[in-house]
Structure 1
Amino acid sequence: MDFTLSEDHKTIDQSIRRICADFSDDYWTECEEKARFPHEYHRAMAEGGWLGITMPVELGGAGLGVTEAAVMMHAASSSGGGYTAASAIHINLFGPHAIVVHGTAEQKARWLTPLIKGEQKACFGVTEPDAGLDTTSISTFARKVDGGYRVTGRKMWTSSGQVADKIVLLARTTLKADSARPTDGMSLFYTDLDRTKIEVRRIHKMGRNGVDSNAVFIDDIFIPDEDLIGEEGKGFSYVLHSLNPERVLVASEAIGLGRDALNRAATYARERVVFGRPIGQNQGIQHPLAECWAFLESAYWMTLRAGSLYDSGEACGAEANAAKFLAGRAAFNACTQAVLTHGGMGYAREYQVERLFRESILMRIAPVTEQLILSFLAEKVLGLPKSY
């Protein structure tokens, strides 16, 4: 059993860090304060060929697995940009998964090539204000008409909708009451984000303001038949296929965020002198930081295990969910301790840890809550009765 990164993994890590080195703390502070998408960073990742790391080789992608993508995203989030840096390119790695698996050759060429080149950006429209994590209860409806569908509905927490050209959209094509099972009757589309028919309203939020989150209002938009992914009515199963990879990626991003905060705290503790000695010489500072390292390290290897299982075609639901749970907690605790280590200066934007702290709470909430993960593990691993 090998617990070391391969040479290819190390190369990915080093290559991403070289790109990220061109984007300073000041750059990420500006994106945060001006709520501006990091277009320059996104372009640099595209020019380096990294937006296609999981995409088919024949379309210009690298054709690599979730494990390699996790290594990439860990490097991105741990290099100063935090969860903003990860979120700016995250959709490229998991959002089009259904297209890769279920799209036609024509759809893949038409949709994935511009994403790989960085010529287009996409957003993901699944969550709804009245459904939340109960995806079977979404109400956005796609009514079949000649040549396509007429779609009306609402979506919530749609990231990068302000800058996106396309939207991955989950909608009901059969009412839940008329479906044989609650998970039936949903279809997945990839279509133009037509702003004459779709209002994208920005949500003002605590952190990660360089990548927008939105409430989306869809008013009778026409989606042509050729923008349907796979078969009508099977959209929920297509979305499920991408959930475990997303859990792995979010976990790796959270760990990168936490490690960056921890490194900043350790540096400050070595350099900050109070009462004639560095504060890092005090066990009251040392022990919490060392504990953060231990939890981040354990979460990291659970994440890589989950990614390895997925890439090997083995079941990984428990491991992917556990990785996301552990990573979210570990990142939040590391960022919290980083602020406390800095004392009053941890509250100042100059030292960056307050920005990382504000971002860290998000990984405990999204894309799935800790409570739902624990309910899943209790049922699927421990054999307890389903609670939801």
Structure 2
Amino acid sequence: MEFRLSEDQRLLVETARKVGERFGPEYWRDLDARKAYPTEAWAAICDAGLCGITLPEEYGGSGLGMLELALAIEALTAGGAGSTLAQMFMLNPIFGGVSIAKFGSEVQKKALLPGLLRGEITFCMALTEPDAGTNSLEVRSFARVDGNGWRLNGRKVWITAVPQATKMLVVARTRKVEEVQRRTQGISLFMIEPDRAGVGHTPIDKLGTNTLPSSSVFFDEVRVEPDDLVGTLDDGWSALLDVLNTERIVTTAGLVGTVELAIRSAVTYAQGRKVFGGKPIASYQGLQFPLAQAHALGEAARLLNHKAAALCDLGEPYGSAANQAKLLAAQAAAQATERAMQTMGGMGYAKEFDVERLWRDARLFRFAPVSEEMVLNFIAVHDLGMPRGY
């Protein structure tokens, strides 16, 4: 087992670090206040080739692995953005890139991947529904046969960056549950435009991740063409799992970067703050121990995520490692941001010191893209062999 980075990986991390620091805390603080989309940062990421790390070389990508992508996201998010920047990678190299590169037709690959790599085409994914939540097998959005295509009806909720997306990956049933032998059958993936006739969306006011809007989405007799189908009709579940498991790796990498950024901010503040006799508060064990604990948990999440990414790149099962890493990373980010705020006292509550933004943004990932409770359910059933209770 090799823990040292190769020279190419070190160069990749250094490139990502420089881009991340170019768009530091001030940039993200301003976007957060204005609830503005990170157009400039994403353009720079694409220009640096970081969007296409895992995508095929024949379409302009680097043809590298999920491990390299995780390393880059860690460095980018630690530069000042925190966990919300990782969502840009979920939206584009994962929802758009993985789905098309692995399961799309040659026509779809040629039409979408080069534009994705240049940052000209952006994506979102419409999966979560009000009555399904984490249980994706209960999606009710339905695409019924209409001539040589389909008509899509249904509702989605908590869909990220719909107004800015060029394309939307939609998860829908194409066969009713009562018509199939297993619930995993009868699910299909479609790639449509968010502004297609019959698609509507409304914003959701929320606590954090303000740079990327969340929306409720409605489908009313939306025409879906044969060329919009991604992968195999009625057999989209396995493709969806590939998308969701790689999403876990990206999420964890962003949280690991958040842990690093929050602790660094707290330590810097604590080293310069002197009270009670002139000693820096960084010397107080009451402040040291919680930050050290969060750091250790973050490093454990980082290593477990690297394992998941490496297994993914080898074509071996990685779902358990990816889920466990996400669980630890979300908890580490919660601890790191909370304790960073506590270390700074009142200034940790001030927007100018940024940790309150990191705290707000990271809180989302205790229950998204999969909740801690569902990860623990997964571990109990799949890793411990315990009976399923839900």
Deviations 1:327-348 (A, max 9, x none): 1111110111000000011111
Alpha-carbon distance between aligned partners in 2 of 1:289 and 1:237, rounded to the nearest angstrom: 40
CA distance, structure 1, for counterparts of residue 90 and residue 192 of structure 2: 19
**TM-score, with normalisation over the residues of structure 1?**
0.97
- What's the offset of the Cα at 1:224? 0.8
**Which residue in 2 is equivalent to 1:134?**
135
Q: Secondary structure at the match of 2:154?
A: strand
Contact in 1 for aligned 2:86/2:253 (Cα 8 Å):
no
Q: Partner of 1:296 in structure 2?
A: 298
In the alignment, the residues of structure 2 paired with residue 90 and residue 187 of structure 1 have an alpha-carbon distance, to the nearest angstrom, of: 20
Q: SS in structure 1 opposite 2:121?
A: coil
Alignment-mate amino acid for residue 87 of structure 2 = S
Of stretches 14-23 and 63-72 in structure 1, the one that deviates more from structure 2 is 14-23
The worse-fitting range, judged by mean Cα deviation, of 242-251 and 225-234 is: 242-251
Equivalent residue number for residue 42 of structure 1? 42
* SS in structure 1 at match of 2:22: coil
Decide which of 306, 316, 329 is 1:314's aligned counterpart. Answer: 316
Letter in 2 for 1:59: Y
- What is the DSSP-based 3-state SS (H/G/I as helix, E as strand, rest coil) of the residue aligned with 1:124? strand
Give the CA deviation at 1:26.
2.1
For the 8 Å contact 2:150–2:225, the answer to whether it is kept is yes
Which aligned pairs between 1:92-241 and structure 2 lie closer than 5 A? 92-96=92-96, 97-194=98-195, 196-241=197-242
Q: Deviations over 1:207-244 (max 9, x none)?
A: 11001111111111111101101211011221012222
- The C-alpha deviation readout for 1:150-201, integer Å capped at 9, x for no partner, is 1111111111112111100011111112122111111101111225421121
Give the letter for the 1:78 counterpart. Answer: A
Q: Is the 8 A contact 2:144 2:152 kept in 1?
A: yes
Percent sequence identity is 39
Give the aligned residue type for 1:49: G
Name the residue aligned to 1:254.
Answer: 255
Q: Which residue of 2 aligns with 1:324?
A: 326
Give the secondary-structure state (helix, strand or coil) at the position aligned to 1:158. Answer: strand
Q: TM-score, normalised by structure 2?
A: 0.97
Give the whole-Å Cα distance in 2 for the aligned partners of 1:74 and 1:277: 33
The answer (yes or no) to whether the contact 1:151–1:218 under 8 Å persists in 2 is: yes
Contact 1:59–1:113, Cα closer than 8 Å, also in 2 = yes
Is the CA contact (8 Å cut-off) linking 2:334 and 2:362 kept in structure 1?
yes
Structure-1 separation of matches of 2:242 and 2:89 = 19
Structure 2 residue runs of 5 or longer lacking an equivalent are none
In structure 2, distance between residues paired with 1:175 and 1:148? 17
Matched to 1:326, the amino acid is L
Structure 1 residue 29 corresponds to structure 2 residue 26:
no
Are 2:163 and 2:194, in contact at CA under 8 Å, matched by a contact in 1? no
Structure 1: 5+ residue stretches without partners: none
Give the AA of the match of 1:168.
L
Cα offset for 1:88?
A: 2.5
Structure 1 position 5, deviation (Å)? 2.2
Q: Map 1:9-28 to 2 at 5 A.
A: 9-28=9-28
Contact 2:143 2:172 in 1 (8 A): yes
| Aligned residue in 2 for 1:347 | 349
Local SS of the residue matching 1:376: helix
**Partner-residue secondary structure (3-state), 1:168:** strand
User: 3-state DSSP class of the match of 2:74?
Assistant: helix
Tell me if the contact between 1:136 and 1:176 (Cα under 8 Å) persists in the aligned partners.
no
**Following TM superposition, by how much is the alpha carbon of 1:90 offset from its aligned partner in structure 2, in angstroms?**
2.7
Distance between the aligned counterparts of 2:22 and 2:253, measured in 1? 22
SS in 2 for 1:341: helix
Q: Give, as a single letter, the amino acid of the residue that structure 1 aligns with 2:305.
A: T
8 Å CA contact retained: 2:95, 2:243: yes
**How far off its partner does 1:7 sit?**
1.9
1:25: Cα distance to partner?
2.1
Question: Does the 8 Å contact 2:59/2:113 carry over to 1?
Answer: yes
Amino acid of the residue matched to residue 17 of structure 1?
R
Range 116-125 or range 285-294, more displaced: 285-294
Equivalents in 2 of 1:150, 1:111: separation in Å?
A: 23
Q: Is the 8 A contact 1:52 1:60 kept in 2?
A: yes
1:337 matches 2:354: no
Q: Work out the CA distance in 2 between the residues paired with 1:195 and 1:185.
A: 24
SS of the aligned residue for 1:157 comes to strand
Question: Which is worse superposed, 187-196 or 356-365?
Answer: 187-196
Contact 1:42 1:89 in 2 (8 A): no
Q: Residues 69 and 93 of structure 1 are in contact (CA less than 8 Å); yes or no, is this contact kept in structure 2?
A: no
Q: Larger deviation: 81-90 or 317-326?
A: 81-90
- How many matched pairs? 388
Residue of structure 2 equivalent to 1:88: 88
Contact 2:84 2:254 in 1 (8 A): no
Aligned AA (1:3): F
Contact residue 208 and residue 361 of structure 2 kept, 8 A:
yes
Q: CA RMSD, aligned part only?
A: 1.2
Question: How far apart, in 2, do the equivalents of 1:179 and 1:152 lie?
Answer: 20
Distance 2:228 2:311 in 1: 32
3-state SS in 1 of match to 2:286 = helix
Which stretch of the first structure deviates more once superposed, 95-104 or 167-176?
A: 95-104
Q: Which residue of 2 aligns with 1:58?
A: 58
